[in-house]
Structure 1
Amino acid sequence: MGKVVTVGEPMALFVANEEGPLDSVKTFTKYIAGAEINVSVGVNRLEHEIEYVTQLGKDPFGKYIARFLEEEGIGTTYSRFYEGAPTGFQLKGKDTENDPEVFYFRKNSAASMIPYDLSEEINLDDVDVLHVSGVFLAVNDETYRFAQNLVKRAKAKGITIVFDPNLRPVLWGSTEKMVKGINEMAFQADYVLPGIGEGEILTGSREPDAIADFYLAQGVKGIIIKDGPKGCYAYSSEQGSTQKTTAAGFKLEQLVDTVGAGDGFAVGVVTGLIEGLSLERILERANAIGAIQVSHISDNEGLPTRQELADFIANY
């Protein structure tokens, strides 16, 4: 099986047990959140090795996350505790109709102080895919530099780089800074996975063809544009011509929570690339995992095993 490396900030997650604004909610249930940790869980459950790089506060939340990583079998060779700052956490509302309300407590967290030197220590010799999310880029300038150096090293080794923009405007300070920072990183990737709304923010167009042309012109190998339950559009440039593939989504009778769908989609792409699946099979897998995830309340608990994924696709 293949090996993946990703870097990010995991957080304790408190999900509201009843609907309504967060300031009126009385009880919450504790989970774990973070785009990259969601991808780590999904990749591992599909039986691929993954190394998750992060820095945790030496506090109850940090210990809770470290235990979770160990129980899930996720690699933590380059993850460490840091006593000088806390582990971040977030609150998430309950909303079965729209994206839920989310509030972060992550400023000056342990992960935000991850040392740049660690990006040089990570052994990439046997790595197949580097997964990078725009969330970690947005934390601060140092996390951006960290990810930038890791991407540079991966490119030098010919490692496939999958980049999910995962826009978090509240973390960037301004839309202009976000667009510039995200696109500079995207241009270094082999595969870019924006949602169609993200594509509009990043390129100025909501048309999938125009979004794809924007990135392919910069040398990106492939771009896969997510369009929720409608499915996705994939583009690649071969011998001067653009190849387009579309895939229908998996429509569900009930939507529980939209958070984590994009991370599940990324799991499908990353693992599909490692396994050498056809583009059609990769898109089917990515759409299926995204649909499975939105059927669950937490950000990652519903991510499927191989058998669960096969059963979902077969029985749909």
Structure 2
Amino acid sequence: MDVVTFGEAMVMFIATEIGPLHRVRCFHKALAGAEVNTAIGFARLGLKSGWVSKVGNDAFGAYIIEQLQSEGVNIEQVAIDPEHPTGFQLKSKMSEGDPEVQYFRKGSAASYMHIGDFNEAYFRTARHLHMTGIPLAISDSMREFAKHVQSFMRKEGKTISFDPNLRPSLWKSREEMIRVINEVALESDCFLPGVHEGELLTGCADPRDIADFYLEKGVRLVVVKLGDKGAFYKCANDEGYVPSFSVLKVVDTVGAGDGFAVGVISGLLEGLPIREAVLRGNAIGALAVQSEGDSDGYPTRQQLEQFINIREEGLA
């Protein structure tokens, strides 16, 4: 595989009408979860991606497996848990701004992942590990699993990217969240925080200062997401701002950060210069915000190249 990731997938019910969730009558079903978003994004670009998790022995679990199979994601290490359910969520429809999301994930099958579920041979086949901070917050056993995977991949000489994907409501305290996220960030090669996440984690508001905080502690590359202002990247011998892609209408911002990660990481794995990899991340993020589902807007290789080429022609 090119990339392997792990975490919790949920079935998402998206409101078909605008309004608060308690008044919505109809929803349509989709797939949600930061790590499955990235696995799907990589697969659509033609990379071989794998996703590791547990789902319940229920209709939601069957739906998740079927959707990932249809996207070409490797799910050999997705276990079916006969005792615990698959989580789900409700998501509102908005005319503008971020949607309201309610989660029903406590005690889910994925939260019962533990070190005993780790398959050394499977992870060894991957060139790269992509992680997010969500598994670190879901349960103690899943956090232990996550840290074990990261330690193993480092010892194997694999590259590791980490998107903090902060979810304060999942953590016992803000202090614990900052401590654990930074511990994992410092064991990664590429760290991908949003600017507000970076400020919370480091106390620094400037993207360059956020990057320096991690670079001085051994991280090789930091890419700070700046929303509609693009992104800032810095490594030992290069740094710069990369502009965003303008869009006519933002439909839903959820999944844009995961799409950004797909663009950056796929570009780096293919040997692109850092600036071009970050530009690819901005492009996929821009495509993502124009669609309702978390990963609906993620492009194929051809769609991505067309989107970037149109932008470059417009600047010429």
Would the TM-score normalized by the shorter structure come out above 0.5? yes
Q: Does 1:244 align with 2:243?
A: no
**Cα distance in 2 between the residues matched to 1:202 and 1:46:** 31
2:259 is aligned to 264
SS in 2 for 1:309: helix
Per-residue deviation, 1:121: 3.5
3-state SS, counterpart of residue 130 of structure 2: strand
Aligned to 1:164: 163
1:49 corresponds to 2:44: no
Cα distance, 1:68 vs structure 2 = 0.7
1:137-191 residue CA offsets vs partner (Å, 9 max, x unmatched): 1101111110100000000011110000000001012111111111111010000
Corresponding residue number in structure 1 for 2:114:
115
| Aligned residues of 1:12 and 1:33 also touching (Cα < 8 A) | yes
SS of structure 1 residue aligned to 2:93: coil
| Structure 1 residue 38 displacement after superposition | 0.3
Shift of 1:122: 4.6
Give the unaligned 5+ runs of structure 1.
none
Structure-2 separation of matches of 1:206 and 1:122: 41
Cα distance in structure 2, aligned partners of 1:173 and 1:101 = 22
- Aligned length, in residue pairs: 311
User: 1:73-98 deviations in whole A, cap 9, x for unaligned?
Assistant: 10011111001100000011112422
Counterpart contact for 2:230–2:243, Cα < 8 Å: yes
Distance 2:202 2:209 in 1: 8
- 2:295 is the counterpart of 1:296: no
Partners in 1 of 2:141 and 2:92 — Cα distance? 30
Alpha-carbon distance in structure 1 between the residues aligned to 2:117 and 2:232: 36
Measure the CA separation in 2 of the matches of 1:99 and 1:269.
24
Task: Please provide the CA RMSD for this pair.
Answer: 1.1
Aligned-residue identity in percent? 45
Go from structure 1 to structure 2 and tell me whether the alpha carbon gap of 1:73 and 1:120 turns closer, same or farther (over 3 Å shift).
closer
The answer on whether the counterparts of 2:114 and 2:144 sit within 8 Å (CA) in structure 1 is no
After the TM superposition, which of the residue ranges 252-261 and 16-25 deviates more from structure 2?
Answer: 16-25
Distance 2:262 2:105 in 1: 25
Show structure 2 runs of 5+ residues with no match.
312-316
Cα deviation digits, residues 32-68 of structure 1 (max 9, x gap)? 0000000000000010101100100000000011111
Q: Is the 8 A contact 1:96 1:257 kept in 2?
A: no
TM-score, normalisation: structure 1: 0.96
Provide the C-alpha distance between the structure 2 equivalents of 1:129 and 1:270, rounded to a whole number of angstroms: 9
Matched letter for residue 122 of structure 2: N
TM-score if structure 2 supplies the norm length? 0.96
CA contact (8 A) 1:13 1:91 kept: yes
The residue aligned with 1:275 is 270
What corresponds to 1:314 in structure 2?
Answer: 309
1 or 2 for the larger relative contact order (CA 8 Å, sep ≥6)? 1
